[in-house]
Amino acid sequence: MALQILITNDDGILAPGLSALVRAASAFGDLHIVAPATAQSATAHSITLMQPIMCQQVELPGGMVGYSVEGRPADCVKLAITELMPVQPDLILSGINAGGNFGVNVLYSGTVAAAIEGALYKIPSIAFSLTIHEKIDFDYAQRNAQQVMEMLLANDVLDEPCVLNVNIPACEIGQPKGVKVVRQTTQAWADRFERRIDPRGRLYFWFDGEFVDGDDIEEDTDAKAVKHGYISITTLNADLTDHAHLAHLQEKLDQGT
Ligand code: MN
């Protein structure tokens, strides 16, 4: 039986990045699209509890039919697996996000959360994001996402549960120089808010943070790889336990008693 592939995203079911991912994945199996009705960027791993989750079939550009869900990316994955798909997915793909999701951004990203949600069901899952400077070229992103999938499938990487976070460097850099398997940087972003006054004289803020893209990015990280024109692949884990500190904490408490 062909590989059953669930496709979702956080930019909404009509986002061009989702169409690009559909085109990239179409050679690899049967596609099932379940994605948010509206833009859900930076909604992280939230789910909808206090209201109904409206859901309807829609025809997408290119003719495929998918489920449009008035919920979060994680809602889409849960619904796809438990209700909407006729079979269990063998693989979950999320993206292609308009904007990079590396470093601490993975904690805010709905694109990445959808992939982590898949892993909670023990299904191999990949989040794809395209970093952006000035231009967005989803045909370029599609070609590169397709090559990454080919490589992963050819090397049996997707035969077991995993979360892979893939970032494709911005298209202005030219074709990626290659693929780097790297850890997630923990370097902080520069948080900044625009301070404004609305037409009725009320104070409001608009978030305008950005990654500090200096020359001192940590080596062997996702941020460094994409900055230098490589596709980054990072393995993620839903377990946020700090294993090193766990032992340290126990040791301290043992000493205290
Ligand atoms: Mn997004």
User: How many angstroms separate the alpha carbon of residue 14 from the centre of ligand 1?
Assistant: 12
| 9-23, 31-45, 99-113, 215-229: least confident range | 215-229
Q: How many angstroms is it from 17 CA to the middle of ligand 1?
A: 9
The model's pTM is 0.95
Q: How far is the CA of 4 from the centre of ligand 1 (A)?
A: 24
Residues with CB under 5 A from ligand 1 (ion): 10-11, 41, 97
For residue 11, the CA-to-ligand 1 centroid distance in Å is: 4
Distance, CA 247 to ligand 1 centroid (Å)?
Answer: 37
Q: How close is the Cα of 141 to the center of ligand 1, in Å? A: 14
pLDDT surpasses 80 at 210: no
212, pLDDT greater than 80: no
What does the pLDDT look like over 126-151, one tens digit per residue? 999 999 988 899 999 999 999 999 99
In the predicted model, what is the mean pLDDT of the chain?
94
Q: What is the model's pLDDT at position 213?
A: 67
User: How many angstroms separate the alpha carbon of residue 44 from the centre of ligand 1?
Assistant: 10
Neighbours of 212 (CB within 10 A): 13
Q: How far is the CA of 254 from the centre of ligand 1 (A)?
A: 45
Predicted pLDDT at 237: 93
Mean pLDDT calculated for residue range 241-245: 93
Mean pLDDT across 78-98: 97
CA of 243 to the centre of ligand 1 (A): 30
Ligand 1 centre from 212 Cα, in Å?
20
Q: Is the pLDDT of residue 257 over 70?
A: no
pLDDT of residue 142: 97
The CA 126 to ligand 1 mean position distance, Å, reads 15
CB 104 within 8 A of CB 183: no
In the reported structure, the alpha carbon of residue 257 is separated from the centroid of ligand 1 by a whole-number distance in angstroms of 49
DSSP for 40-71 reads: -TT-TT----SS---EEEEEPTTS-EEEEESS
Among the listed residues 4, 51, 47, 48, the one whose alpha carbon sits nearest the alpha carbon of residue 25: 4
Q: Is 90 exceeded by the pLDDT of residue 22? A: yes
Question: Ligand 1: distance of its center to the CA of 45 in Å?
Answer: 13
Give the distance (Å) from ligand 1 centre to CA of residue 43: 9
Confidence bin at 189 (pLDDT 50/70/90): confident
For residues 246-257, average pLDDT? 90
Which ranges of the chain does DSSP label H, i.e. alpha helix? 16-25, 73-79, 110-120, 138-154, 222-227, 243-256
Q: What are the distances in angstroms from CA 252 to CA 77, 240, 256, 257?
A: 41, 21, 6, 9
Q: How far is the CA of 97 from the centre of ligand 1 (A)?
A: 5
